[in-house]
Chains A and B, each alone.
Chain A
Amino acid sequence: MFFAIREVLGWALILVAVLILFIGLLLVTNADRPQIIEGAAFVFGGTAVLKAGVLLIRMSTAARICRLDTAKEPTGDESSGR
């Protein structure tokens, strides 16, 4: 359950990051009055949020894989007469 929550939160963070990056791009590519500094700040902020989201997803995936394989192991131990 916690893995799923973490993964959903990670994907939500990635979506937020994409939104921030999009806002930054809109600021930079505005033909009338491009705001380079603000756009760059948005892009770098979006990158940090993206990294956080990726970390959450990766950790949840790795933990889930470990948990799945660990759940299979005790059956082997029990059969060996522990």
Chain B
Amino acid sequence: MTDSKRIADSTPRVTPSRIWMCGWLALTVIFALLFVSQSMSVGNPDLNLAMNFIFLAVFVLTLRFWTGALVFAFCQAELLFGDFRSADPAIYPDGWILTGLSFLLIVVISTFRTLQERDSAAAYRLLRSWLPAGNQNSATKEEAVESPVDQATAEAGRLVRQLLRAGVLLLACGIAAWLILDLFPTRRTVTGLNTISTYRLRPAGHRMIVVGLTIFTVFLIAWTLINELTWRRITRGQSRVYLSSVMLKTLLPDLRMVIRKRVKLRRRRRSKTKLATPTESED
């Protein structure tokens, strides 16, 4: 295998994941700035900044690893922005824009994992196939068999399918969040409860806790039932691994800690060598 071919084989594995990672980080930073700027510019003394930051830390930053709770995040964002919209439309005319933008960003961030896992190199290959023929000297033999037009069409179709999937996810989550929020009254203070004097909470914070706990409970029960039903399909090897893991966890936690540290070190070494290989081949 020549050096140029080795570079071509190794480049798509590394570059798209880095691009996705940078995009994800950039979106997270934008989302954080959005929250902070929105919180600062309104100048509401009752606004609890800590609540925003907790939301940001717990839900937004972990969304990449926690796609299942997307509806929950939708509702939280809606409730956080709910007060500004209902308070005074003249003062907060752009509330719905911020809410919509936040929803979109949450969805985009949450779908990144799916996109990254399923077909991370699709966009990169598509871009590469659109390049002039002179820049495609790194193409492999298998890719050279198909014509560039067919390849580009196939990649475009795959990308469109991914986008459609993301769109369906956005729509389904939006509808689910809207339905859930519709079950609860917009104003909890209608009942006469002064949430600020009783709990030191804004009405939006109170609603957030109520709706959050409800959704969390429903999500937990559904998740448990689905997991338990699928659990019965495991093979003998998987069940052995699980049993030994549980035994180690309960009886020998110190040993487990040592093993996990060693595994982490091994992974780091492997990733370092993988990253170092392309640069060596370039040299």
Contacts and interface: CB of A to CB of B under 8 A. Distances in A.
Contacts of B221: 18, 21
Contacts of B231: 57-58, 61
Interface string B54-81: 0000000000000000000000000000
B189 to A, nearest CB: 11
Counting contact residues on chain A (CB < 8 A from B), the size range is 20 to 34
A39 B232 CA distance: 33
B214 A65 contact: no
Nearest to B246: A59
A63 B235 CA distance: 11
B228 interface: yes
Contacts of A59: 243, 246
Contacts of A36: 199, 206, 209-210
A21 B210 contact: no
A57 B232 CA distance: 10
A50 B227 CA distance: 13
A24 B217 contact: yes
Interface size class on chain B is: 20 to 34
A28 B210 contact: yes
A77 interface: no
A78 interface: no
B172 to A, nearest CB: 24
A25 interface: yes
A65 B209 contact: no
Nearest to A72: B236
A55 interface: yes
The binding surface of chain A is classed by DSSP as helix
Interface string A29-70: 101111010011001001100100011011101110110010
B234 A65 contact: yes
A40 B236 contact: no
Given A25-B217, A43-B217, A50 B191 contact: no
B187 to A, nearest CB: 12
B13 interface: no
Contacts of A66: 236, 239-240, 243
A59 B242 CA distance: 8
Given A62-B239, A65-B239, A50 B220 contact: yes
Nearest to B199: A36
A62 B243 contact: yes
Nearest to B228: A57
Nearest to B190: A31
Interface of B: 191, 193, 199, 206, 209-210, 213-214, 216-217, 220-221, 224, 227-228, 231-232, 234-236, 238-240, 242-243, 246
24 contacts: A14-B224, A21-B220, A24-B217, A25-B213, A25-B217, A32-B191, A36-B199, A36-B210, A43-B213, A50-B220, A55-B246, A57-B228, A58-B231, A58-B242, A61-B239, A62-B234, A62-B239, A62-B240, A62-B242, A65-B234, A65-B239, A66-B239, A66-B240, A66-B243
The 7 nearest A-B residue pairs measured at CB: A62-B239, A65-B239, A69-B236, A21-B217, A62-B242, A62-B243, A31-B191
Given A54-B227, A66-B236, 17 more contacts: A21-B221, A24-B217, A28-B210, A28-B213, A34-B210, A36-B210, A43-B217, A50-B220, A50-B224, A54-B224, A54-B228, A57-B231, A58-B246, A61-B231, A61-B234, A62-B242, A65-B235
